[in-house]
Structures are given as structure tokens and as C-alpha cells.
Amino acid sequence: MSRIEAPRDEDSGDVTGGVPGLPPHPHHPPHAELIERLRDGLPAEAVLIDPDVTAAYANDMASFCPAGAPAAVVLPRTVEQVQHVMRTATALRVPVVPQGARTGLSGGANATDGCIALSLTKMDRILEISPVDRIAVVEPGVVNAVLSRAVGEYGLAYPPDPSSWETCTIGGNIGTASGGLCCVKYGVTAEYVLGLDVVLADGRLLSTGRRTAKGVAGYDLTRLFVGSEGSLGVVVGATLALKPRPPRQLVLAAEFASAAAACDAVCRIMAGGHVPSLLELMDRTTVKAVNDLTRMGLPESTEALLLAAFDTPDAATDLAAVGALCEAAGATQVVPAEDSAESELLLQARRSALVALEAVKGTTMIDDVCVPRSRLGGLLEGVERIADKHRLTIGVCAHAGDGNTHPTVCFDAADPDESARARASFDEIMALGLDLGGTITGEHGVGVLKKEWLARELGAVGVEMQRRIKEVFDPLGLLNPGKLF
């Protein structure tokens, strides 16, 4: 995320648009009172108003998601500064869009016209690491990989590892309840958030959860905030559970002549009681894209490449057992990595998948459909039919161990017809996921991109109850408006 800062410039406050609920002052440019009030409690360099700078904070990495022009971008460094921002926003009825590194893929961090884009990236301190309690206390702007390396020095691990782990922030991970490659064994972000400090819409500070290994006092408000996409409050601190650092994992690569055979192998592995630390799938389109981008030399003759890993003390034995199951499912070749370096190379190939697919046509729409593992084959076969129907390149990479697929539609954004076909195919994939008993998002969130689909998945009563919860925490509707519902 950009870290550009601008000096205070009273003449640069002429941003188009007005503050909701506040008529423009007759002798000041629009937003002048907002900027003045923000600067009353913030360093001048923390309030950015140059339109050329604020435009860089208007959207995340999703396609087909509208974004407005922020009135200001604010980069606080303290909880008190965030409270000042929210009190100002409430007083002037100005919407606030909390942001992390903006690596999201659903438009959840996209600005609305006249909003305060509240970037938490400068709140990036690791406040505590406790090997005894196995917790870390962090600010929201801490980058996932930075935390992982820091706790690793204590022989600990923070397992959630989204593909963007080198750039995404813990606050953003909490906002979308992110997953990652290791979810199949270690679970997702929600399972590691023990407690939160949250600034509410009116500026009050709420602390939820605990530091203890167990605790059931009252409603679980911590889980309520995880995955809420900044619509209920602004996370300013998190207490996270840690695990002992596991042994280095070894990876196995299995080639299949069909996606159906690869999905059969996944079912056999899970039904056999195995607990891989990673179980990932890439289809032929994805393998070719990764090769074109990285020159890694992955086998393009395969229709599906399955990667399985174990971080157990006897990983080689576990890999051999899984390799046998892959062969029973019809694998044409099974190749276990010889060492951790070769294993890491295979994992890097998987982590490169989404970037590689983007390079195919320049623009992608990345779906996030999660289905029961037993229906994974049906999802992949359906995506292939949809790609043929719309004459599009759609690559699929998947966290196969938990059924979370990422069908990625590659298209030319400058071609209106191809763009329309891309959007139609995206919607058909989500409908397919629901038909197979799945969900529209396993880890990317709803944001703007999937609002109408959330209503289809939850139903009228479900949406009504979620709206009521939103009203309790944010009665004026100022926090990340236009997202989710």
C-alpha cells in the first residue's frame, strides 16, 4: 500500500462533492470544516487531501467494483487519533471507510464519495509476544509476514497465511476473516483472534474477548467483528493465538489426466483420515499461466496438479501414503519433493497463481466459491462448461483440502463485450457454488462485488437480522456504507 504523505496545504482542500448532512460553508470550499476538525486532533501530515494522492486510496484490487473520491485520507498512529476521526465523522455525518493494505478482492475497502478513507497501515507495532501464553498483541497495520517472522524467533507460528501475506495486514485479515494455504490443517483467521480493541462509530473504545486459552463470558463479540469488513467498528488492536512452530513441511506434486481424478484424490485423502498441512490444486490453465510468468517448468501436460504437504515428524511416510492414494485415484505421476528447498519452490508456484492469471489478459475477476469437499469435482467441471459457454479463459486454483476454490476469469477490460461475458461467467460460477451446497465466499469477503449474492445465500430473514446488528453498532450508517448489504 502507498505510504505517500503530503504536507499540510490549506489551498489543496478544494475536493469536489459535499459532506453528507452538512451544507457547504458559503466562504469555504467543500469539506473545509471536515478537514479543519480532523487536523484539530491529528498531525498535519496524517491528513491527506491532495486529490492526486487520495485517488490512490480509492479502491482495492477487485474488478467491477465502483469507487468514489475520498474527501480525505487519514493515517493515524494511535488509538486516540482513530477515536478523534470517528468522533469527527459522527459529528459531521461523514462516512468512514476503514482500510488496510487494500489487497482485498471484493471492493470491501473501496471509498465512497466524500468519505474519510481511514488507513490503518501506520499502526504497525507488534506490542507483545508471549511464549508462555502463546499470544501476540498487535496493531492492525502489522503485515502478516512480518508477524510470522517475529513470532518465529520464539519458536512459534501464526498460521493464517493468505497468498498476499507479504503485503496484507492483520487488520485486513480480520476484516475479511482471511484464510490461506494452511487452512486445511490449522484453520482460518477467526480461529486465532482471541480479543479485539475496536473503536466504535461514535468514538468509544470497546474491548472484546480475552488473553486466556478459554473463556465463554457473554456473547462472543470478537467473532462478530471478524469478517465484518469494517462495517461495525474500527479494529485498532488484536490479541492473537499462536502455535508452536511445526517442522518444515515436505511437499508432494501429483499430476492427473483430469480435474475429476484430482478431486477424487482429495476425497480419498480426507476420507482416509490424513491431516495434510496443505492440499492445493491448480488446473491446466493455471499451471500454464504460472509457467509463462515464472519459467518454473511445471508439467503443462497435466490437466490438474495437486500439491500435498505434511509438517509432521515423519512427513516422508505421510507423503508416501498420500502418494499411494493419488495413484489409486489415477495420478499419472507422483513426485515427492526431496528437501525443503524443492518444497518451497512448489509452494511459490502456487502462491504465484493469481498474479500469473492476471498476466494472461491484464484483468481478472477472482471468484471465491467454497463447496463441500465431496462436491469439488462438480464445481471444477461446471467452471469448465461456463468458460466454454462464454468463450473465456478461466483458471482454477483451489485450497482443495477445504473446498475453497478461486475460479479466475481472465479478460480484456478494454473490450466491452468480453467484459460483459466475464461478469456473466462470474455470476454463473457463484450460482453454481450455491447449487452445490456451497457459499459465495470462503475468505475474500462480500464487499461490493457480491452484495446481491449475499442476499441470495442468507435469505430475507438472515439479511434482516444482520442489518439489525449493523444498526446497533452503527446507527447512523457511517462505517463502510454500501458494503455487504
Query: Each residue of 287-336: pLDDT tens digit?
Result: 999 999 999 888 888 999 999 999 999 999 999 999 999 999 999 999 99
The pLDDT tens digits for 197-206 are 999 999 999 9
CB 442 within 8 A of CB 402: yes
Residue 12 reports pLDDT greater than 80? no
SS (H, E, C) 67-99: CCCCCEEECCCCHHHHHHHHHHHHHHCCCEEEE
CATH number for the domain whose boundaries are 126-244: 3.30.465.10
Mean pLDDT of 273-294: 96
pLDDT more than 90, % of the chain: 86
Q: Which residues of the chain are in CATH 3.30.465.10 domains?
A: 126-244
Query: What pTM value is reported for the model?
Result: 0.90
Residue 483 to residues 61, 176, 187, Cα–Cα distance (Å) = 15, 12, 26
Per-residue pLDDT at 338 = 83
Considering only residues 327 and 28, tell me which one the structure prediction assigns the higher pLDDT. 327
Mean pLDDT of 272-296: 95
Comparing CA positions, the residue from 184, 188, 162 lying closest to residue 100 is 162
Q: Which residues of the chain are in CATH 3.40.462.10 domains?
A: 250-435
Per-residue pLDDT at 340 = 84
Per-residue pLDDT at 181 = 86
pLDDT bin (cut points 50, 70, 90) of residue 342 is confident
The pLDDT tens digits for 228-256 are 999 999 999 999 999 999 999 999 999 99
Residue 411 reports pLDDT greater than 90? yes
The CATH class for the domain spanning 10-119 reads: alpha beta
Distance CA 479, CA 465 (A): 18
For the chain, state the CA radius of gyration. Answer: 23
The pLDDT tens digits for 440-460 are 999 999 999 999 999 999 999
CATH number for the domain whose boundaries are 250-435: 3.40.462.10
What mean pLDDT value characterizes the chain? 92
Residue 406 reports pLDDT greater than 60? yes
